[in-house]
Amino acid sequence: MTGSGSIRLVYEHPGCDTSTAWATVPREPVEAEKPELIARIKSMLKEQNAVLVAHYYVHSDLQDLAEATGGIVSDSLDMANFGYRHPAKTIIVAGVRFMGETAKILNPEKRVLMPDLYAECSLDLGCPSAEFTAFCDQYPDRTVVVYANTSAAVKARADWMVTSSIALPVVKHLKEQGKKILWAPDRHLGDYVQEQTGADMLMWQGSCIVHDEYKAKELAELKGKHPRAKVLVHPESPRAVVKLADVVGSTTQLIRAAQNLDAKEFIVATDNGILHKMRTLCPEKYFLEAPTVGAGANCVSCSHCPWMAMNGLLNLAEVLETGRNEIHVDPAIIPRAVQPIQRMLEFAKQIGLPTQGIGNA
């Protein structure tokens, strides 16, 4: 998805009134424009004491720029951990809105900017806070565990926040304490965690429009053509796809698997933005995208999150120039919303999880 324009997404999730969403992908600068643009962004970051925190799914130019300027490119857990108590005055989050909100909740005194404030996530959109609160109120005996991909208001109703890299150890820990869980919003990640831990989990029925598209039958066929390839799967994918995986994990965990496994070929079932880091770190290895086509395929079957694609060099430069696109979270919500996030970060520290990114080395 390059160039400017709007794309229309149609999705339907139980518990969600919204049936359509949109994303506007910024124009990509031509190669000749880039050196001056990148130099300008670098000097504005410095002048404004700002740090760039990017996700592996955003454009490779932004990933490289984050690392070249002392920022980070990583998964959602490491993004939150890196931004927390970072000395920079301004945090620029190149990702989707829940990532910007998490940074603001953890750093309410700081300016948090995003290249585009309309960079959504279907999991967040599919879990409106009023409906979610009503759901939780029906089950007061359950510990509420929400995925990072949710709004500030949903986090404020939760006991724990988790990301895909820490969901298993957190739920295992809660199960050992005899807790019953109410899980939201990703049904596929919840299904995987339940299967792995045997915990009692009541699920909200949300899903990711990108990972929902991976097709098990076509993946098995591709694997048949590449029998030595290892299959790397993000747990937001459907169960039948997860079943075919050699490794299931967060984006950081999948990159580590690509580095560490003794294989030359990999089939990757997650947003194809991740291939930039995999190919940079493992130039001698061969990475194939897991198939999304097949019965029921539609315009979102491209293995790339339309909202992550809203981040570009041009709108990054613009927010630094204008100070526009600041993330605001209702100050009344922050004291409650910060608790499940801090609980996760403290637990991650105890078990030695946050990694501060992988880096290019």
Question: Footprint of ligand SF4 on this chain (CB under 6 A)?
Answer: 96, 121-123, 149, 208-210, 236, 271, 305, 307-308
Residue (74 or 325) nearer to ligand 13P, CB: 74
CA distance 207 to 230: 25
Helices 76-83, 97-106: crossing angle, 10 deg rounding: 30
Residue 196: count of CB within 10 angstroms of its CB: 14
Residue 208 touching ligand 13P (CB under 6 A)? yes
Residue 164 touching ligand 13P (CB under 6 A)? yes
CA 131 to chain centre: 23
Query: Using CB under 6 A, which of 61, 75, 101, 120 touches ligand 13P?
Result: 75
Residue (92 or 269) nearer to ligand 13P, CB: 269
Query: Using CB under 6 A, which of 107, 122, 149, 151 touches ligand 13P?
Result: 149
Residue (53 or 208) nearer to ligand 13P, CB: 208
Instruction: Please report, for residues 73, 76, 277, the alpha-carbon distance to residue 355 in angstroms, rounded to integers and kept in the order given.
Output: 11, 11, 16
Residue 63 touching ligand 13P (CB under 6 A)? no
CA 134 to chain centre: 26
Residue (38 or 94) nearer to ligand 13P, CB: 94
CA distance 39 to 45: 10
Query: Using CB under 6 A, which of 54, 67, 71, 76 touches ligand 13P?
Result: 76
CB of 250 to ligand SF4, least distance (A): 11
If contact means CB under 5 to 8 A according to the sort of partner, which of ligand SF4, ligand 13P, none does residue 90 touch?
A: none
- Our separate counts of H helices and E strands in the chain read 15, 14
Residue 124 touching ligand 13P (CB under 6 A)? no
CA 352 to chain centre: 20
Query: Using CB under 6 A, which of 80, 236, 315, 338 touches ligand 13P?
Result: 236
Residue (38 or 355) nearer to ligand 13P, CB: 355
If contact means CB under 5 to 8 A according to the sort of partner, which of ligand SF4, ligand 13P, none does residue 184 touch?
A: none
Residue 150 touching ligand 13P (CB under 6 A)? no
Give SS3 for 108: coil
If contact means CB under 5 to 8 A according to the sort of partner, which of ligand 13P, ligand SF4, none does residue 75 touch?
A: ligand 13P
- Phi first, then psi: give them for residue 153, nearest 5 degrees: -65, -35
If contact means CB under 5 to 8 A according to the sort of partner, which of ligand SF4, ligand 13P, none does residue 122 touch?
A: ligand SF4
H or E element that contains 54: strand 50-55
Residue (291 or 357) nearer to ligand 13P, CB: 357
Take residue 55 and report the two structure tokens written for it. Answer: 């996700």
CB of 119 to ligand SF4, least distance (A): 8
Query: Using CB under 6 A, which of 250, 272, 303, 311 touches ligand 13P?
Result: 250
| Torsion, CA 315, CA 321, CA 324, CA 328, rounded to 10 | 100
Residue (309 or 345) nearer to ligand SF4, CB: 309
CA distance 203 to 360: 38
Residue 223: count of CB within 10 angstroms of its CB: 18
Q: Are strands 20-25 and 5-10 parallel, antiparallel or unpaired?
A: antiparallel
